[in-house]
Amino acid sequence: MDYRNVEPEYPEEELEIQSTFIVLEENVVDIHLTNEAYLNEIYDIEILPEVQEPRWKGVDVIELPPKWVWTSIKNGARLYSNTPIPTGEPFTIKIKIYAEKISDSIIIYATDENHKILGIVTSTRQ
């Protein structure tokens, strides 16, 4: 399935996934996710500037785990793979955020194999 042209609905349900981020340098961020609850379920994550507070101008992906790719959607990023985010193992991405200010949380959407949005992961600043 080509996920680049799918326009999902965005629910507000918070998922039970631990996530933190570290600002490495000016607007470059490492996001760490630890998936303990969703075995073989999360195949795609989306980071959208329009849902961040304050709103970002855009985001680019700098580094992904092996077998993951990304595509630009609107001014955001969709990261996806044919294999799900592993449970019990660290999952880290590095992004460049185009914004005047990065708040203490980053909203991430997680989807399943069929690109159905499972809910929100809130990553908090370390």
Q: What is the pLDDT of residues 56-76, one digit of tens each?
A: 999 999 999 999 999 999 889
Question: End-to-end alpha-carbon separation of the chain, Å?
Answer: 36
Per residue of the chain (126 residues), give pLDDT as tens: 454 455 545 556 788 888 999 999 989 999 999 887 777 889 999 999 999 999 999 999 999 999 999 999 988 999 999 989 888 888 999 999 999 999 999 999 999 988 888 899 999 999
- Res 5: pLDDT: 52
Q: What is the C-alpha to C-alpha distance for residues 125 and 21, in angstroms, rounded to an integer?
A: 5
Distance (Å) of CA 8 to CA 29, 55, 85, 108: 25, 20, 19, 14
Percentage of the chain modeled with pLDDT above 70? 90
The fold of 11-125 is Immunoglobulin-like (2.60.40)
